[in-house]
């Protein structure tokens, strides 16, 4: 393995595993709009999802907690999508091939977006994998969660239900 690949692996592992505990907080202010290409080839624009509760889940194929969380996020998406919930998995890798390879092993039904230039990740100040952002139906930031440990999907479910109630 060459030095550059080793350095990328070490930095990636640090970002993924350096969180010994997860961090969460409520947020305020408008969500930053963006448009990214999805795994279906279509462009998805955040602003077009106004009126729905939106979860942005920033992830990478090399992140073990991301891989562990994905099937649980898919269950959340399948359960609440009919009620006005949209989940966008935002892959942060420069080359989407690794993401696509992982999605063959861990298929999900929610849209996967490719942030190959890191513009969206930078706009949302993503510094840990995974990072999850919830946006209310008015397009405002509501909740930020960094990292993942088993059981924390229950927190997401509670927050999603709360935000869906506020939309009615």
Q: Output the pTM of the full model.
A: 0.85
Domains for the chain: give ranges and CATH numbers. 3-167 (3.40.30.10)
Q: What is the 3-state secondary structure (H, E, C) of the chain?
A: CCHHHHHHHHHHHHHHHCCCCCEEEECCCECCCCEEEECCCCEEEHHHHCCCEEEEEEECCCCHHHHHHHHHHHHHHHHHHHHCEEEEEEECCCCCHHHHHHHHHCCCCCCEEECCCCHHHHHCCCCCCCEEEEECCCCEEEEEEECCCCCCHHHHHHHHHHHHHHHC
Residue-level pLDDT, tens digit, the chain, 168 residues: 444 443 344 344 444 444 434 565 556 789 999 999 999 999 999 999 999 999 999 999 999 999 999 999 999 999 999 999 999 999 999 999 999 999 999 999 999 999 999 999 999 999 999 999 999 999 999 999 999 999 999 999 999 999 999 987
> Which tens digit of pLDDT belongs to each residue from 70-114?
999 999 999 999 999 999 999 999 999 999 999 999 999 999 999
């Amino acid at each position: 393995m060459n030095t550059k690949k080793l350095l990328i692996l070490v930095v990636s592992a640090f970002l993924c595993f350096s969180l010994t505990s997860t961090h969460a907080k409520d947020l305020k202010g408008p969500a930053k709009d963006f448009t990214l290409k999805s795994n279906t080839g279509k462009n998805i624009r955040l602003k077009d999802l106004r009126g729905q509760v939106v979860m942005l889940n920033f992830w990478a194929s090399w992140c073990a907690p991301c891989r562990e969380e994905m099937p649980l996020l898919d269950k959340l998406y399948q359960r609440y999508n009919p009620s006005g919930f949209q989940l966008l998995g935002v892959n942060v890798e420069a080359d989407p091939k690794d993401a696509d390879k992982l999605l063959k092993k861990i298929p999900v039904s929610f849209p996967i977006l490719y942030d190959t230039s890191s513009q969206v990740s930078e706009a949302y100040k993503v510094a840990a994998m995974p990072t999850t952002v919830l946006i209310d139906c008015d397009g405002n930031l509501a909740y930020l969660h960094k990292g993942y440990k088993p059981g924390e999907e229950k927190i997401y479910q509670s927050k999603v239900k709360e935000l869906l109630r506020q939309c009615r």
